[in-house]
Structure 1
Amino acid sequence: MREIAGAIWTPQLAAGWNMNAEVAGVLSQATDQILRCSEAFALVPRPPGFVPGLGYLVQYWKNLRDYFLVVKDNRTYRACVVATAANYRSIIEMASAGI
């Protein structure tokens, strides 16, 4: 989970977070948001109507990390990752703190 969080935000931020169930839930939501935003650029297969849960994150973490890193560097789709990172930053910080 830390690798995925590091790809969305930064590895330095993710290193300080407590990777608990609440953080996993936030990562699932953020992952879903990024994948929906960048649907046309789908490097990671995503079944229709599927919200990625903890099992998906665990199974596909390398694919997701690589996908987010590629998308982050692509000018067109960078907005998907940056907007999601901004929208979920406070939420993931609170989840990490158990709030």
Structure 2
Amino acid sequence: MVAILVLCSQSLNIEVGMQIHGLLFSYGLNTDVRIETSLIEMYFKCGDHLNRLKIFSQSQNHNLVMWSAIISNFVHNGCPAKALELLQDYMLELSHLSHICCNKH
């Protein structure tokens, strides 16, 4: 499915990408971090900024790849202030996770 989303991104075919997204959602496969990141990239490249933010905001799988994708999207879109804001959010999330790990021992 990731490969199909990449093809949709490269061809700027948002209609097919949205259909794939709908299928993934209906089968419960849309929560895989690789699929979420591919959806973010596809929506960014196709100019659908609302859906890329929605996917990122609703994700429970924020990892380095997903953070990098959303931050670089804003940099490439000419929104450095939003990119910096997200970078700060990422740093806060990392420090929160480190704090939890330290308190666990």
TM-score over 0.5 for the pair: no
Higher normalized helix content (fraction of residues): 2
Q: Give the TM-score normalised by structure 1.
A: 0.31
